Amino acid sequence: MLTEVAIRAAKRRDKPYKLFDERGLYLLIDLKYSPGWRFKYYFEGREKLLSLGTYPDVTLRRARERRDEVRKMISDGVDPSAERQAKKAALADSFEAVAREWLAKQTGLSDATRVRDVGRLERFAFPYIGSRPVSALKAADLLSVLRRLEAHGKIETTHRVRSLCGRVLRYAVATGRAERDVASDLRCALTPVATKNRAAITDPKRIGELLRSIEGYSGQPATHAALRLAPLTFVRPGELRAAEWIEFDLDHAVWRIPADRMKMDEQHVVPLSRQALSILRELHVLTGDGKYLFPSLRTPSRCLSDNTVNAALRRLGYSKEEMTGHGFRAMASTCLNEQGWHPDVIELQLAHKERNKVRTAYNRAERMAERKKMMQAWADYLDELKADGSRVIAIRSKRER
């Protein structure tokens, strides 16, 4: 039998050698590596070997305890090597492992967004479902995680964590490690977020003043282009700044934003007006050889930061109480509704969720022609306001045509 004294007295040699204890346990002494505990056993007539840790992290006493635990597994008909491999495989497909793998592939995220997403997962998801195999996760498992956040009044964070977990689970589905995204089942199970009015300019005269200010912006060309496109497309700020050239079909005047970049997790189509196409073609000369329309000034492998457009508006003299990047959506919604465009058409173009799936499919199929007309009419209207902000030019709705 081995003793601690004998182990400490053992010297490294040119070749590995073994110090035997009993019942299959021995310590392997190697020139290059720390001494390692090994356990030799037989299972179903085959000789097998199992590592039990390294010395001195695992003491002689602890190594013997581990050996005895493994021997009990063998007596119960369980192969410890196979059991260990199964646990490793499960760990590789755990929610946390898949989430970190997915995060590593999100090269377009800004540093601030990456830190925020990692922090949310580490604080609110990993402690509860991080070790669970993604294939075994159920909607109820994730709901219990989200209920903890709701109980502390973090309603908006609850919805953001659900959405974040949903993106991880869709990646798991795409890589063959889960059957479906169970987070999608929880959209209607959570307390709704209280809506907040965002700062926006909706008065036609002031819209004209804003558009003329944007035309005179003297900052970075890509930021200028983002400012000019924001009112013409009125997508969410994150959808705009992370836009990729591969999403655009300029020949057919359409921008298709993929589902994984949309708040509602569904592809969104933006018909492009002549004015938007003109800006995009100008921008393509500057950034068309890269991935992003609006690359970061630090590295072209990332898009503009989430505060760039707002910072540009501040530079133009508009406070956060007057106008924000998100305010272009409220601007378009208010004006288009006032001018008589059908609410369904406006809501579809704003990518607000239609709860009735049948109606959603119908709207997508039947309303695109109206959306194209509306987007061009909206761009023409903005041109009129920009040319003369003192005049109120009414957009003609479909019913007036």
Catalytic positions, written as ranges: 236, 263, 326, 329, 352, 362
Shortest CA distance to 160 belongs to which of 198, 180, 186? 186
Instruction: DSSP for 23-52, please give it.
Output: TTEEEEE-SSS--EEEEEEEETTEEEEEEE
The DSSP letter of residue 93 is T
Query: How far apart, in whole angstroms, are the C-alpha atoms of residue 29 and residue 32?
Result: 9
Shortest CA distance to 259 belongs to which of 276, 239, 245, 273? 239
Query: How far apart, in whole angstroms, are the C-alpha atoms of residue 257 and residue 244?
Result: 9
Tokens of 39: 């356990």
Phi, psi of 294 (to 5 degrees): -120, 75
Shortest CA distance to 62 belongs to which of 16, 4, 10, 113? 4
Instruction: Please say whether the dihedral angle defined by the alpha carbons of residues 297, 303, 308 and 313, taken in this order, is positive or negative.
Output: positive
List Cβ neighbours of 312 (8 Å cut-off, separation of 6 or more): 217, 219, 223, 224, 226, 227
Provide the Cα torsion 320, 321, 322, 327; round to 10°: 70
Burial of 54 (0-12, 13-18, 19+ CB in 10 A): middle
The one-letter amino acid at 167 = R
Instruction: DSSP for 309-340, please give it.
Output: HHHHHHHTT--TTT--TTHHHHHHHHHHHHTT
* Per-residue three-class SS string for 165-227: HHHHHHHHHHCCCCCCCHHHHHCCCCCCCCCCCCCCCCCHHHHHHHHHHHHCCCCCHHHHHHH
Contact 200, 328 (CB under 8 A): yes
Q: Give the strand order in the sheet containing 25-29.
A: 17-20, 25-29, 36-43, 46-54
